[in-house]
């Protein structure tokens, strides 16, 4: 189909008629522009969802020529009740003094052990030395790309209307051509998700947090994070309670016993302390409730605590990631009924073929649910308690775009002492 293009002369006199130009267009939604031999200066667009972005030419300079604004910082708020971790903080500080152009570390541990809190605490101390200091929630490749796009926008706000993929690419190019920056990639679920980024950068500092304990050997330097010491966990409980209404800093009945029962896991202690502060009960009363109503207590925290940040929710997230290895659920259920330390591996021999048992143990260890030590297995006591606790609540709906792959009976086989099968 051909459409003639008509143009009126700029100075119209009485009796003049429109002039038919020599420009034609063919094809659906085609356009034709006659410049009468001159240059075309303007914008032409077609399509139902066409977007025109006007960017100052000077802003489209190569990322290598873009300087970061002074003090560019994006971090979550630091925990007011943060305690301990002196060894890990010193380790991170010591690595910062190295002369290597690129330093990548993977801080890994059990869900709720405080990886993100430690990363935020340490990153905040780097604001005077590194620029930018930028935090990205990187639990999916899409989230990682979005975080990089946000960095590009912060570096050059005038480019905010560019397509997200172009912003992501500009951020990566900026990182590859600059030094003295710190990037925190929080909650990485698979080392493969960050490999494309790490393959391109040559200088700077990247701190990764993850539940994954394995798969980092050719990507980053692994930094395991364990639970708090007894003194640190008691200090955390006391500090959270002191911030709540109606509680003093005086010794609290049952505080040490409660910390021990929770395995000195920071998230569990904060959850318990929030509940104690809100309800006005003692730690010993909470300990009694934990024994008689475990499912309810693992699910509830104090007012203001995010529902995603309870032990029950953290547990379910990890179970979902292990759902493609059903035997892992059965093994965890068996391990839940032994003393937590030095469980002989031969006790699991009858649960399946040897290769399948080894694979399931490896998957549990990869997500920090257990620790393998030669011929024995160690399980955190809170993991054992959750594995023994039936949860009557239905699982939460999956996030948009997420396909839940939990086989029938998976959680039941893990949670219920009577559950069976793989």
pLDDT at site 34 = 63
420 pLDDT more than 50:
no
What's residue 249's pLDDT?
A: 47
Torsion of CA 231, 233, 258, 410, to 10 degrees: -140
pLDDT single digits (tens) 286-317: 999 888 888 788 776 554 444 445 777 777 77
What does the mean pLDDT of the chain come to? 80
> What's the confidence (pLDDT) of residue 340?
87
Question: What is the pLDDT averaged over residues 36-61?
Answer: 67
Average the pLDDT over each of 213-217, 247-251, 311-315, 402-406 and give the range with the smallest value: 402-406
Q: What does the alpha-carbon distance between residue 15 and residue 402 come to, in Å, rounded to a whole number?
A: 68
CA distance readout (Å), 53 to 160, 240, 241, 392: 10, 49, 52, 52
Span 75-224: which CATH code? 3.40.50.300
145-164 confidence digits (pLDDT tens):
999 999 999 999 999 989 99
d(CA 330, CA 352): 10
Would you say residue 50 has pLDDT above 80? no
Closest by CA position to 369, among listed 265, 218, 231: 265
- Of the candidates 338, 292, 380, 365, the one whose C-alpha atom is nearest the C-alpha of residue 112 is 380
DSSP state of 306: -
User: What local confidence, expressed as pLDDT, does residue 314 receive?
Assistant: 76
For the stretch 363-413, pLDDT in tens is 999 888 889 988 999 998 888 888 887 655 454 454 444 443 444 343 444
Does the model's pTM come out above 0.85? no
Domains of the chain: which residue ranges?
Answer: 1-52, 75-224, 230-299, 321-415
CATH 3.40.50 fits 321-415, yes or no: no
The rounded percent of the chain whose pLDDT value lies above 90 is 45
């Amino acid at each position: 189909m051909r459409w003639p293009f008509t143009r009126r002369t700029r100075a119209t006199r009485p009796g003049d008629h429109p002039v038919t130009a020599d420009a034609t267009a063919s094809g659906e939604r085609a356009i034709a522009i006659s410049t009468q031999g001159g240059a075309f200066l303007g914008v032409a667009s077609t399509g139902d969802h066409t977007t025109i972005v006007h960017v100052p030419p000077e802003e489209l300079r190569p990322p290598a020529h873009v300087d970061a604004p002074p003090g560019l910082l994006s971090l979550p708020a630091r925990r007011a009740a943060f305690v301990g971790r002196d060894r890990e903080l010193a380790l991170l500080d010591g690595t910062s003094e190295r002369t290597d152009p690129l330093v990548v570390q993977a801080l890994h541990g059990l869900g709720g052990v405080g990886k993100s809190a430690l990363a935020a605490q340490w990153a905040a101390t780097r604001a005077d030395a590194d620029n930018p200091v930028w935090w990205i929630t990187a639990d999916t490749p899409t989230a990682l790309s979005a975080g990089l796009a946000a960095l590009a926008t912060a570096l050059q706000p005038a480019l905010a209307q560019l397509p997200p993929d172009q912003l992501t690419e500009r951020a990566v190019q900026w990182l590859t051509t600059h030094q003295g920056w710190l990037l925190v990639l929080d909650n990485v679920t698979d080392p493969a998700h960050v490999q494309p980024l790490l393959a391109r950068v040559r200088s700077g500092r990247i701190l990764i947090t993850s539940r994954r304990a394995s798969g980092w050997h050719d990507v980053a330097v692994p930094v395991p994070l364990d639970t708090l010491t007894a003194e640190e966990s008691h200090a955390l409980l006391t500090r959270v309670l002191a911030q709540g209404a109606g509680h003093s800093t005086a010794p609290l009945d049952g505080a040490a016993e409660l910390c021990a029962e929770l395995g000195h896991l920071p998230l569990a202690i904060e959850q318990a302390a929030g509940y104690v502060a809100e309800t006005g009960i003692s730690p010993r009363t909470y300990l009694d409730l934990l024994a008689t109503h475990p499912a309810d207590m693992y699910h509830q925290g104090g007012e203001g605590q995010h529902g995603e940040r309870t032990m029950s929710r953290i547990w379910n997230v990890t179970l979902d990631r292990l759902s493609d290895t059903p035997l892992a659920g059965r093994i965890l259920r068996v391990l839940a009924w032994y003393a937590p330390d030095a469980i002989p591996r031969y006790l699991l021999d009858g649960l399946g073929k040897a290769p399948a048992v080894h694979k399931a143990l490896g998957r549990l260890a990869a997500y920090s649910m257990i620790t393998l030590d030669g011929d024995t297995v160690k399980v955190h006591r809170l993991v054992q308690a959750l594995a023994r606790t039936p949860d009557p609540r239905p699982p939460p709906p999956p996030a948009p775009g997420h396909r839940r792959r939990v086989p029938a009976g998976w959680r039941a086989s893990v949670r219920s002492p009577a559950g069976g099968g793989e």
